[in-house]
Structure 1
Amino acid sequence: MNLLTLTADGSNTFFNENIGENYHSKHGAVQESKHVFIDAGLKNILGKTKKIEIFEVGFGTGLNFLLTLEECLNNDCELYYTSLEPFPLTLEDIKLLNHHEFVSEETWAIFQKLYKINSPQNSYNNINLHISRATLEDFNPSSKFDLIYFDAFSVRHQPELWSDEIINKTCSFLKPLGIFVTYAITGKLKRAVKAANCTIEKLPGAPGKREMLRATKNL
């Protein structure tokens, strides 16, 4: 069961009772998503290419995709967005959130056209969304990505997704000079990402977290 939760920036999220954690930060769901995935991740890709390929671990409420969609529409770029979500929410569930208030009407309308659980691969103009119910352990993409959003639940609640093996596998999905971003940063995570042939950066974290991690795949 998911319980609607108001966060500090006025945006809602869900508390996942099965996992025991919110989908996004109580300090601000939209604020965190913008800080970690849009500002530290996507904006480093925009302008360098008109075709952006993104891989996300944890589609959840769709907030990261929604904000990414808005940026790509504003910058007239082609988006290929692949996300893993073994337990997807229904569109009716997502509509209970107020995330549509933080984007344009056009962006929200396109999101609703693209998000179809029973038809996981959908396109609208130059926007392409593929949601796979595969686990990260079983997922093997056919191409590499410019950007990875690693947005799994915390290591406390999903430790299996933060193992050295899984981090190495995820980083292997990056193109040379591709970017990996996540809200978390620990010594173990930094070592795992470095071992996956990436150069790491410690960046200021979103409200409620001192630091976050960004990494770039070496040539």
Structure 2
Amino acid sequence: MSDIKIIETRDGSSSLLIPEMNETYHSTHGAITESEYVFLKMGLDHFREKFPEQKEISILEIGFGTGLNVWLTALAVENKDLGINFSTIEKFPLKAELVEQLNYKNKKESEGSKKLFAKIHEVEWEEQQEISQTFSLTKFQTDIVEFNPQPESYNLIYFDAFAPSKQPEMWSQDVLRKMHELLKPNGIFVTYCAQGQFKRDLKAVGFATEELDGPPGKKEMTRGTKLTAS
């Protein structure tokens, strides 16, 4: 994936295009818009509404990519009575010079937000680091097959792999079953994808699924919940 190109999406924020896959890292209708809607509003905000008493939330992200989801989540919990333990995996980290050209930090004007974006990318791989009073981050340079934390480690999973048509192995029942095992009871799995076979597979491995309105440019998205044993 050496020939990655920076593109501008419709909300003015950057994404990346992989020409050999004809695939982008985010929706062309808006990178920040998609991330804030799919992962924060329908994921983190939904979990907090369901469990307002919970003051520590463990999040796993599949696909660190540009760091956008991590950054927006960290910004969202600043000065909140809430602690986030965020783990993210990425097999092929982006080069620093490419990350530096992304314009996300220019979309959030405070100097603190710009420093936070830089700090996220400066965190060493495989080392947990506190990047703010409310947010700790661990980045793992690995793939989903090799990544093996303890079962029931996470409250929330941001599943942000490339589309099933581009990376079908990431959406297999084996991977989805692993996601189910990694979630705590009542844990939430959220993704931009709404493909029919994916939703059937999500149900097959034990998730209760919801079809939700999608972000701009996309009709639907999907959320799954790991139910407690009856």
- Give the alignment of 1:76-87 within 5 angstroms: 76-87=81-92
Q: CA deviation at 1:208?
A: 1.6
Deviations 1:102-140 (A, max 9, x none): 334323312322323644422234421111111101211
- Give the alignment of 1:1-219 within 5 angstroms: 1-46=3-48, 47-103=52-108, 104-116=110-122, 118-121=124-127, 122-124=129-131, 125-142=133-150, 144-219=153-228
Asked if structure 2 preserves the Cα contact closer than 8 Å seen for 1:91 and 1:112, the reply is no
Asked if structure 1 preserves the Cα contact closer than 8 Å seen for 2:17 and 2:25, the reply is yes
SS at match of 2:217: coil
Question: CA separation in 2, counterparts of 1:6 and 1:207?
Answer: 15
Deviates more, 1:31-40 or 1:14-23: 14-23
Deviates more, 1:90-99 or 1:49-58: 90-99
Q: Counterpart of 2:171 in structure 1: which amino acid?
A: W
Asked if structure 2 preserves the Cα contact closer than 8 Å seen for 1:41 and 1:147, the reply is yes
Question: CA separation in 1, counterparts of 2:85 and 2:14?
Answer: 26
Asked if structure 1 preserves the Cα contact closer than 8 Å seen for 2:153 and 2:184, the reply is yes
Q: Counterpart of 1:189 in structure 2: which amino acid?
A: F
Q: CA deviation at 1:18?
A: 4.5
Q: CA deviation at 1:68?
A: 0.4
Asked if structure 1 preserves the Cα contact closer than 8 Å seen for 2:79 and 2:134, the reply is no
SS at match of 1:115: helix
Gaps in structure 1 of 5+ consecutive residues? none
CA RMSD of aligned residues (A): 1.7
Deviations 1:175-212 (A, max 9, x none): 11111000011221112211222211100011121100
Q: CA deviation at 1:74?
A: 4.0
Deviates more, 1:208-217 or 1:163-172: 163-172
Q: Counterpart of 1:171 in structure 2: which amino acid?
A: H
Identity over aligned pairs, percent: 39
Question: CA separation in 2, counterparts of 1:149 and 1:32?
Answer: 13
Question: CA separation in 2, counterparts of 1:105 and 1:208?
Answer: 31
Gaps in structure 2 of 5+ consecutive residues? none
Question: CA separation in 2, counterparts of 1:101 and 1:50?
Answer: 30
Spell out structure 1 runs of 4+ moving beyond 3 A. Answer: 117-120
Asked if structure 2 preserves the Cα contact closer than 8 Å seen for 1:54 and 1:148, the reply is yes
Count of residue pairs brought into register by the alignment = 219
Deviates more, 1:167-176 or 1:61-70: 167-176
